[in-house]
């Protein structure tokens, strides 16, 4: 037993037992942070470092029967070990390390941190981070062996999915040559990509319960029982013993401090003459119901819709209603223990028949910027449009549930509770299952057409092939051919024509294709079947082209199609080609939405920025119709 281990015995007998009980040499545990009923830090250093809870918040511990643990809610500040790695640099592992923890992840997220000392800013990548993503545990590491001058980090992912709310033991080890991730005592990942010594950034903070560097902070939403950082690579058997050492913890039921309620408030998709789709989600499995009644008391109908399945997400396909009619509705969720929560009384209008006047708003690329998206959607709602068209990139990462539940849906309320949406897939949706779960749309959902009033919308998946003979192009041709609508709109995420600066070639230095070449394949069909306007997103700015036909600017009356990029819903703004393009008409670099009002053969079009300022207008008299 070396003197250091003896000191550990006095301070943290448990940590000592891990190595000793198995007959192996005791571990040189450098730091152990325990979060029992109160948290405490233990260390070898003559200057032990105690993490301090920021914001003066009083720590909350989970019930003992669920294994206790310090509750971190994602919004709490992290536990700081050192503001700067420089303050503890002699104590940080270099040649080898093991970072391990007993942790429960309550809500998955894309970048989650458990213990980190990292600076990752573009090409500059140094340090390490034990963390998790929306499915598995992860370990990021930058070493001298792969250093390209400013560090090169590898983000390793384990393979075993963690169970949200349940305790797991996770360990990441590095012995100078091999990096390993262990989950619940079993080897989950191995790589020799990183080698040499750990490369640190002296200004990076050392934190527990977050992935945090100078630019980013992703705090843990979950629980911590213990976090350790050691200056050697634990062996597989040592990790296994550690993971087995707390059987009651491993066996305890998952726990959450989330309360029963609406995870996603009621929202509407796909307006139809005889109904709409109403969706909402509860935090836990529930029975759902929708009560619905007409606002016209002389013809009042009250209908109660019941859900068959018990799950969190409820989707009601409402039908048998009258067109052009306002309805009230109210949703209810009933939890497994009988607790019931009603929504406020909401309302919607069924789709307009072809003889009616109507309006809609086009929003694109709401993405990750909830604040801007909320401003834009609130302004759109102020206009009380009949429905919303979304040009894709609703969220930043389609597979990350929190992007939907915490960013997209909250930022689109109160709009979507009253005004139904018809969206298309952006690249950021990643074709993820969550998109299809959250959207109720005509089959096959990834592409579809929707009729509203005297207009038909051809909703296209620009991420999928539109080449000649592709399924989607064949569908589009068939749908256009049989359309009888006065107004025809194509909607797809990637723009067939754009004056953007660098998405399709760096216009500062080289040539550009001036648009996405896959979606350019639809142009001939749009021209052939008299489409009026094609709406896109993707390039985060606003553009309205001159009408285009056969690769030339052509008057709208002579069949030119107008291309509108309306990608100003929140994503960081992009810029334009420094020189005008042959089709470039109106361009603006504002967050914005587009507002369209149609009555018969007359169309009014406005573009409105996030402050409510009108910056583009257009009126169209449907080509071929009499004035
Ligand atoms: Fe985007
Ligand atoms: Fe995009």
**Ligand 2 center to 526 CA (angstroms):** 22
Burial class (CB in 10 A: 0-12, 13-18, 19+), 308: exposed
Final residue in a domain of this structure, among 251, 273, 307: 251
Neighbours of 338 (CB within 10 A): 7
Asked whether residue 626 is domain-assigned, the answer is: no
**Ligand 1 center to 393 CA (angstroms):** 5
Same domain assignment for residues 178 and 308 = no
**Ligand 2 center to 388 CA (angstroms):** 18
Same domain assignment for residues 45 and 73 = yes
Number of structural domains in the chain = 3
Asked whether residue 499 is domain-assigned, the answer is: yes
**Ligand 1 center to 605 CA (angstroms):** 23
Final residue in a domain of this structure, among 251, 277, 296: 251
The enclosing domain of 100 has a CATH number of 2.60.120.200
The enclosing domain of 504 has a CATH number of 3.60.21.10
Closest CA to 216 of 93, 98, 103, 131: 131
Same domain assignment for residues 217 and 290 = no
Same domain assignment for residues 326 and 363 = no
Q: Please, what is the angle between helix 13-20 and helix 3-11, to 10°?
A: 130
The enclosing domain of 292 has a CATH number of 2.60.40.10
Cis bond before residue 131 (omega within 30° of 0): no
Asked whether residue 207 is domain-assigned, the answer is: yes
**Ligand 2 center to 50 CA (angstroms):** 44
Residues in the 5 Å CB sphere of ion ligand 1: 365, 393, 571
Asked whether residue 20 is domain-assigned, the answer is: no
Final residue in a domain of this structure, among 217, 251, 285: 251
**Ligand 1 center to 388 CA (angstroms):** 18
Q: Can you give the pLDDT at residue 27?
A: 44
**Ligand 2 center to 131 CA (angstroms):** 28
Same domain assignment for residues 215 and 313 = no
Same domain assignment for residues 455 and 549 = yes
**Ligand 2 center to 106 CA (angstroms):** 30
Same domain assignment for residues 587 and 510 = yes
**Ligand 2 center to 369 CA (angstroms):** 14
pTM over 0.85: no
Tokens 């948290």 -> residue: 39
**What is the C-alpha separation between 585 and 402, in angstroms, rounded?**
38
Total residue length of the chain: 627
**Ligand 2 center to 366 CA (angstroms):** 10
Cα 109 to Cα 112, 134, 403, 558, distances in angstroms: 6, 5, 9, 51
What's the whole-number mean pLDDT along residues 53-81? Answer: 73
Per-residue confidence at 45, pLDDT binned at 50, 70, 90? very low
What is the percent of the chain with per-residue pLDDT over 90, rounded to a whole number? 74
**Ligand 1 center to 573 CA (angstroms):** 9
Q: Which ligand is nearest to the CA of 572?
A: 1
**Ligand 1 center to 407 CA (angstroms):** 15
**What is the C-alpha separation between 561 and 532, in angstroms, rounded?**
5
**Ligand 2 center to 490 CA (angstroms):** 17
Q: Can you give the pLDDT at residue 19?
A: 25
Same domain assignment for residues 331 and 398 = no
**Ligand 2 center to 392 CA (angstroms):** 7
Same domain assignment for residues 244 and 269 = no
With contact defined as beta carbons under 8 Å apart, do 578 and 501 qualify? yes
Q: Which domain holds residue 611?
A: 359-621
Same domain assignment for residues 205 and 318 = no
- 3-class secondary-structure state, position 359: strand
pLDDT digit string (tens) for 549-560?
A: 999 999 999 999
Closest CA to 209 of 195, 190, 222: 222
With contact defined as beta carbons under 8 Å apart, do 587 and 575 qualify? no
Asked whether residue 627 is domain-assigned, the answer is: no
Asked whether residue 463 is domain-assigned, the answer is: yes
pLDDT digit string (tens) for 269-326?
A: 999 999 999 999 999 889 999 999 988 765 667 788 887 667 789 999 999 999 999 9
pLDDT digit string (tens) for 395-451?
A: 998 988 889 999 999 999 999 999 999 999 999 999 999 999 999 999 999 999 999
Same domain assignment for residues 278 and 402 = no
Asked whether residue 256 is domain-assigned, the answer is: no
Same domain assignment for residues 178 and 309 = no
Asked whether residue 550 is domain-assigned, the answer is: yes
**Ligand 1 center to 426 CA (angstroms):** 7
**Ligand 2 center to 372 CA (angstroms):** 17
């Amino acid at each position: 037993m070396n003197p250091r281990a003896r000191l550990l015995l006095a301070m943290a007998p448990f940590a000592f037992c891990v190595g000793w009980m198995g007959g192996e040499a005791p571990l040189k545990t450098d730091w152990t942070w325990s979060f029992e009923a109160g948290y405490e830090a233990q260390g070898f250093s003559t200057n032990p470092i105690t993490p301090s809870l920021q914001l003066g918040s009083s720590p909350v511990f989970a019930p003992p029967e669920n294994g206790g643990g310090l509750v971190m809610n994602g919004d709490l500040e992290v536990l700081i070990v050192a503001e700067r790695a420089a303050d503890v640099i002699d104590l940080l592992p270099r040649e080898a390390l093991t970072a391990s923890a007993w942790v429960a992840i309550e809500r998955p997220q894309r970048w989650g941190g458990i213990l980190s000392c990292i600076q990752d800013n573009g090409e500059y990548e140094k340090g390490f981070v034990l963390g998790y993503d929306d499915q598995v545990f992860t370990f990021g590491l930058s070493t001298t062996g792969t250093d390209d001058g400013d560090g090169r980090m590898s983000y390793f992912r384990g393979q075993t999915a963690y169970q949200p709310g349940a305790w797991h033991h996770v360990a990441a080890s590095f012995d100078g040559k091999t990096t390993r991730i262990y989950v619940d005592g079993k080897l989950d990942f191995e790589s020799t990509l990183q080698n040499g010594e750990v490369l640190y950034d002296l200004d990076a903070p050392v934190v527990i319960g977050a992935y945090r560097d100078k630019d980013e902070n992703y705090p843990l939403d979950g629980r911590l029982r213990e976090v350790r950082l050691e200056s050697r690579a634990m062996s597989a058997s040592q990790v296994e013993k550690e993971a087995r050492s707390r059987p009651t913890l491993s066996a305890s039921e998952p726990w959450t401090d989330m309360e029963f309620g609406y995870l996603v408030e009621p929202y509407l998709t796909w307006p139809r003459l005889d109904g709409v789709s109403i969706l909402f989600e509860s935090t836990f499995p529930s029975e759902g119901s929708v009560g619905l009644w007409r606002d016209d008391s002389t013809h009042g109908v009250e209908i109660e819709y019941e859900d068959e399945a018990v799950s969190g997400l409820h989707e009601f396909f409402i039908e048998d209603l009258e067109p052009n009619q306002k309805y009230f509705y109210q949703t209810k969720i009933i939890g497994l223990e009988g607790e019931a929560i009603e929504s406020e009384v909401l309302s919607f209008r069924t789709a307009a028949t072809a003889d009616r006047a109507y309006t809609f708003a086009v929003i694109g690329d709401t993405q990750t910027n909830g604040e801007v998206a909320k401003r834009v959607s609130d302004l759109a709602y102020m206009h009380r449009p009949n429905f919303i068209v979304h040009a894709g990139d609703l969220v930043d990462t389609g597979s990350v549930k929190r992007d939907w539940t915490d960013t997209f849906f909250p930022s689109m309320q109160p709009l979507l509770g009253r005004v139904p949406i018809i969206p298309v897939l952006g690249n950021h949706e990643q074709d993820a299952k969550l998109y299809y779960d959250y959207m109720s749309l005509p089959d096959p959902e990834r592409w579809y057409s929707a009729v509203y009033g005297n207009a038909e919308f051809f909703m296209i998946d620009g991420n999928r092939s539109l080449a000649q003979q592709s399924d989607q192009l064949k569908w589009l041709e068939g749908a256009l051919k049989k359309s009888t609508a006065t107004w025809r709109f194509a909607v797809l995420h990637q723009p067939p024509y754009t004056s953007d600066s660098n998405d399709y070639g760096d216009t500062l230095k080289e040539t550009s294709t001036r648009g996405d070449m896959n979606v350019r394949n639809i142009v001939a069909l749009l021209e052939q079947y008299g489409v009026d306007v094609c709406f896109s997103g993707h390039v985060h700015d606003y553009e309205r082209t001159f009408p285009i036909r056969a690769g030339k600017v052509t008057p709208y009356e002579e069949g030119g199609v107008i291309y509108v990029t309306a990608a100003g819903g929140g994503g960081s703004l992009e810029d334009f080609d420094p020189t005008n393009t042959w089709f470039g008409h109106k361009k603006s670099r504002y967050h914005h939405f587009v507002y369209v009002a149609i009555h018969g053969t007359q169309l009014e079009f406005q573009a409105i920025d996030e402050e409510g300022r009108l910056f583009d207008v257009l009126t169209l008299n449907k080509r071929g119709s009499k004035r």
